[in-house]
Amino acid sequence: MEILILAVLFVVLFVLLLLIVFLLKGRTTDASARFDAALKDQFLNFQANIHRELDSTRTSVEGAKDVISNNAIQTIDQIRNISGTLQKLIQQQEEAQKLGASLKDLLQAPKLRGSYGEVVLEEMLERVLPRGVWARQYSVDGIERVDCVIKFKDVVIPIDAKFPRDDYIRYLDADDPQEKAGCWKDFVRAVKTQITSINKKYVKPEMGTSEFALMFIPSEGIYYETIAENNHLGEPSDLLVFAQEHHVFPVSPNTFYAFLQIVILGLRNIEIIKSAKELQKGLASLERSFGLFYKKHEVIGRSLEKASEAYRVGDDHILRYKRRLDETLKLEGLETEADSPGLEEAAEFGGEKARISSPEDSKV
């Protein structure tokens, strides 16, 4: 824009110089006069065009200035919003770090770590299984109490929450290969000690428990390190085999949730079996009732047959009696017809009295 303005000014100065040169020469001829007039007209037109261009340029510059100002204001506002968001994120990160540090301090004590595992275990059981199917702090033999049990059919499945965090953290934090190998041995020793303790305390089928127990590990990392065939050093691990030999199965929150789903399916199947047994009992009772009804029906049928036979015999007797009665009535009718002339003669001799005499008198 500034270059355009400078170019316009340069052209104007050049035209003015030409005009001055021509004026100084003082030409008085008609050609020079016409040329001066034409040059003057061109100069005026050129000056008017320059004014219009300057006005248009000024307007464009002012509009661009307003647009640039608005964009600058919006950009500043966006920068301020981004700055506020970054401050919030930094604050949340600091709070998360403080929370992680607090949780780390909380889990330093072994008792608190055990309580943490128990809380996670009980929370999962509370959310997945119905009440009455599981219990907390269950006494197996009247002495030892397991963290939780699942009551399935006639047995209870003991579940103990273990969290060997310290040995595992030392194993992960170790930098020297020899130190790392030593920490791994300590971790394996701690896990095996817990497995042996669970087996001795809680796996007692003679007391009504299942033939196995679950070792709940609330950390997925520790769980996968427990069941893996090889550790981070590439060395073979026999923890899972050792646990299976002692009838103890490690579970993490994910695998324990899948196990609970299987338990729910089993409970539903038990309810279906119970319903089927109740249905079978109802059908058996219905069969007995129908048998009694059918026996009564047969008795009624036999009674109806006997009544029908008795009716047939009685009907035969009635028919014979009716025939005899009809024959008797026919005989009486003949006798009545034989006695009718005597009555007519009596009527002739007896007058009106004999004609109106009653039938009883006639019978007499």
Q: How distant, in Å, are the alpha carbons of 6, 13, 247 from that of 52?
A: 16, 18, 99
List residues bridging with 331 in a β-sheet: none
Q: What is the mean pLDDT of residues 59-81?
A: 76
The predicted structure's pLDDT at residue 30: 54
Of the candidates 160, 161, 185, 284, the residue with the CA atom closest to the CA atom of residue 235: 185
The predicted structure's pLDDT at residue 15: 65
Tokens 């033999």 found at:
141
pTM: 0.47
CA 186-190-195 angle, to 5 degrees, is 145
Of the candidates 133, 96, 71, 101, the residue with the CA atom closest to the CA atom of residue 271: 133
The predicted structure's pLDDT at residue 247: 92
Residue 346 has pLDDT above 50, yes or no: no
The predicted structure's pLDDT at residue 350: 45
Between CA 105 and CA 274 the distance in angstroms is 51
pLDDT band at 32 (very low <50, low <70, confident <90, very high): low
**Range name among 161-175, 195-209, 235-249, 343-357 with the lowest pLDDT average:** 343-357
The predicted structure's pLDDT at residue 222: 81
The predicted structure's pLDDT at residue 332: 64
Angle between helices 2-25 and 30-106 (to 10 degrees): 160
Q: Which helix (H) or strand (E) segment is 213 a member of?
A: strand 213-216
- Length reported for the chain: 364
- The more confident residue out of 10 and 113 is 10
Residue 259 has pLDDT above 80, yes or no: yes
pLDDT band at 188 (very low <50, low <70, confident <90, very high): confident
- The more confident residue out of 260 and 28 is 260
Tokens 């199947």 found at:
269
Q: Which CATH number fits domain 110-251: 1.20.140, 3.40.1350, 1.10.3470, 2.30.30?
A: 3.40.1350
For the segment 133-179, what is each residue's pLDDT rounded down to a tens digit?
888 888 887 788 888 999 887 888 999 987 777 787 888 788 888 88
188 in Cβ contact with 177 (< 8 Å)? no
The predicted structure's pLDDT at residue 308: 86
The predicted structure's pLDDT at residue 20: 67
- The domains of the chain are located at 1-62, 110-251
For the segment 73-122, what is each residue's pLDDT rounded down to a tens digit?
888 888 878 877 878 878 777 776 655 554 444 444 444 445 677 888 88
Structure tokens at 346: 């009596």
Residue 208 zone, left/alpha/beta (φ > 0; ψ -120 to 50; rest): left
The predicted structure's pLDDT at residue 45: 75
